[in-house]
Chains A and B, each alone.
Chain A
Amino acid sequence: MSQPVLVIAEVRGGKLRQVSLEALQAARIARGEGADVQAVIVGSGITALAAELAGYVGGKVHAVDHPELASYNAPAYVQAVKGLLEELRPARIYLGHTAEGRDLAPQLAALLGAGQISDVISIGEGELYKRPVYAGKAFEEKRFLSGSGVVTVRPNNIPPAEPAAAPGEVVDRDYAPPADLRSIVRDVLRKAGGKVDLAEAKIVISGGRGVKSADGFKPLEELADVLGAAVGASRGACDAGYCDYALQIGQTGKVVTPEVYIACGISGAIQHLAGMSQSRVIIAINKDPEAPIFKVADYGIVGDLFDVVPLLTEEFRKVLA
């Protein structure tokens, strides 16, 4: 049997993240259907999630379940998977390009002396990994020169894996906390996120400085409710205090690739575009016809968002009723 391939699944808010199934699919596309694909899941109280994951993986699912692993901590999570990596010597490791994955991946790559290709959006013939560069103004395809390699995949770009023909076996693994933990998580402040995870949402409605106040987000939220969409924001809106930084989309914030992105009162700075320009359909609502956002928009409405957005909500309500 060929060297195994390992998917590192991520748990957030007590759920298996969708991007973990996308990472699994990436493994299948890159390494072919015959590959020995295994997965590891790290957390606390994750028996049910490990079983759920095994339904997709087909191969072995290693579960590292320990109270000290309830939330991400770099040295603890590295410790949790280190022994497994040494045993399996996986040819490839796949994980999500998320806050957790971005931090964990380079540590594992360093540990294995492996190359890493980050923020992958698709995989081509010959195991070529495509990724955006220059804030999305260009794309590169990369390949590994090293025997082992680590890949992080951008959420919402590679289709999630389908359930396996037969579920894989869950193997519990022990966890021994590192003797000397030089980094300790003192506190985690979870922002009450919206109902829909921004990075995984199919539709995103974003507000910029043009919404003018925290109340100005209300019409956007109503539209989001009708469409089952997530609400996002530009840095301008966050800095002005209209919304929490947890909503920020762009280079510094979250990168989203929804089917539909509706930018309301956002000028379209390059750092904002870096976070949304891969969306399938982009709609811009802005009262300035010269706003750069119109250059990337498929559909543009020059107008006042406070007029247009409530009318849109009404129209959608009619057709979706």
Chain B
Amino acid sequence: MNIYVLLKQTFDTEEKIVIEDGRVSDDGVKFVINPYDEYAVEEALQQRDQHGGKVTVVSVGPDRAAEALRQALAMGADEAVLLTDGRIGADEGAAAAALEKYLSGQSVDLVLGGNFSVDSGGGQVAVRLASRLGLPHVSSITSLRIDGSTATARRDAEGDTETLEVTLPALFTAQQGLNEPRYPSLPNIMKAKKKPFQTLSLDDLGLSAAEALTERVSLSLPPERGAGQLIPGSPAEQAARLVELLRTEAKAI
């Protein structure tokens, strides 16, 4: 089975956000595999180990995204591809266009991605890609079983659970609960260094442009929440005071 994982390197959202010149400063910031894409990598490895085949991790991003791909190789993926080019626009449409061009030249049985990315989080790239490639998809899955060319997936839809049956090739996006991603082992980290790693530009893809269809015009921090107040007293006093504040000061109830 030829399995492809769509992987975005994201800003670790535990980090403090500092805005400089209209951009989020990445000074000293830790970058990680988007957590939902980590579930996708883990699922790909498990499916490969069960059914045989090869796992290729693919990312569209700047040079630093190579680190995230190497991390996925260390988890056990077989090959990595970085699509990087200053001419790829900065939105979901552009990322999907580049991925489409790359994947349409491959023989694909299964594509796994994340539900959304935890930094800019449009939740679009993977589903757009499925539409563009004409693949059926199921988004936000919490389980996946493959039997021959049929996949059965459970999808989380606002707490409801839908069970879907899809014919492969197909694309799925991972929701939390799908699996527990493994940590790379030391021998695998060493092995990862020797695994095939391709870096491709738009020219390599045979694409003249991958234009963004939207653009960011401003970036700001949330308004400071006025320092909250701690309500003192016994539990009964605290409860009475809170109800009073909600009615008089906050005018909320």
Contacts and interface: CB of A to CB of B under 8 A. Distances in A.
Contacts of A281: 246, 250, 252
Given A138-B19, A140-B216, A245-B159, A301 B231 contact: yes
Interface residues of A, number: 96
B84 interface: no
Contacts of B226: 298
A185 B216 contact: no
B217 A142 contact: yes
A247 interface: yes
Nearest to B19: A138
A238 to B, nearest CB: 9
Contact of A183 (B11, B24, B165, B214): B165
A75 B118 CA distance: 27
Residue from the set B120, B164, B165, B238 with the largest chain A CB neighbour count within 10 Å: B238
B127 A103 contact: yes
Given A75-B136, A117-B214, A281-B252, A244 B159 contact: yes
B13 A134 contact: yes
B228 interface: yes
Given A133-B120, A247-B159, A316-B243, A311 B214 contact: no
A141 B119 contact: no
Given A119-B121, A281-B250, A304 B166 contact: no
A197 to B, nearest CB: 9
B163 A315 contact: no
A233 to B, nearest CB: 11
Contacts of A176: none
Nearest to A313: B239
A212 interface: no
A191 B228 CA distance: 35
B162 interface: yes
Interface in A255-288: 259-260, 270-271, 274, 277, 280-284
B222 interface: yes
A132 B116 CA distance: 14
B182 to A, nearest CB: 19
B42 interface: no
A20 interface: no
A301 to B, nearest CB: 5
Given A118-B123, A133-B121, A300-B230, A311 B215 contact: no
B62 to A, nearest CB: 17
Interface in B139-161: 139-140, 152, 156-161
Given A110-B131, A137-B13, A270-B14, A115 B238 contact: no
Contacts of B218: 128, 140-141
Given A117-B214, A137-B17, A186 B160 contact: no
A315 B243 contact: yes
A298 B216 contact: no
A133 B124 CA distance: 14
Main secondary structure of the interface of A (DSSP, over half): mixed
Interface residues of B, number: 78
Given A183-B170, A185-B163, A135 B213 contact: no
Contacts of B231: 299-301
A273 to B, nearest CB: 10
Contact of B228 (A187, A300, A303, A308): A300
A308 B235 contact: yes
A203 interface: yes
B52 interface: no
B176 interface: yes
A252 interface: yes
A266 B227 CA distance: 19
Contacts of A167: none
B217 to A, nearest CB: 5
Nearest to A189: B161
Interface in B8-36: 11, 13-14, 16-17, 19, 24
B5 interface: no
A164 interface: no
Contacts of B177: 245, 252
A30 interface: no
Interface stretch (B64-72, B75-83, B90-98, B192-200): B90-98
Interface in B93-141: 93, 96, 118-125, 127-132, 136-140
A141 B159 contact: no
B186 interface: no
B163 A312 contact: no
B179 interface: no
A284 B120 CA distance: 28
B222 A136 contact: yes
Question: Which are the 9 A-B pairs with shortest beta-carbon distances?
Answer: A246-B159, A115-B213, A110-B131, A311-B239, A99-B157, A106-B127, A146-B213, A115-B214, A182-B136
Given A145-B214, A186-B163, A315-B243, 19 more contacts: A100-B157, A102-B139, A109-B124, A110-B127, A118-B124, A137-B222, A138-B221, A139-B221, A141-B217, A142-B214, A185-B164, A245-B156, A247-B159, A282-B228, A283-B242, A298-B225, A299-B229, A299-B242, A301-B230
19 contacts: A99-B158, A106-B92, A139-B220, A141-B216, A183-B170, A184-B165, A185-B163, A187-B163, A188-B160, A188-B161, A191-B161, A246-B160, A252-B176, A254-B159, A282-B225, A298-B229, A301-B242, A311-B235, A315-B243
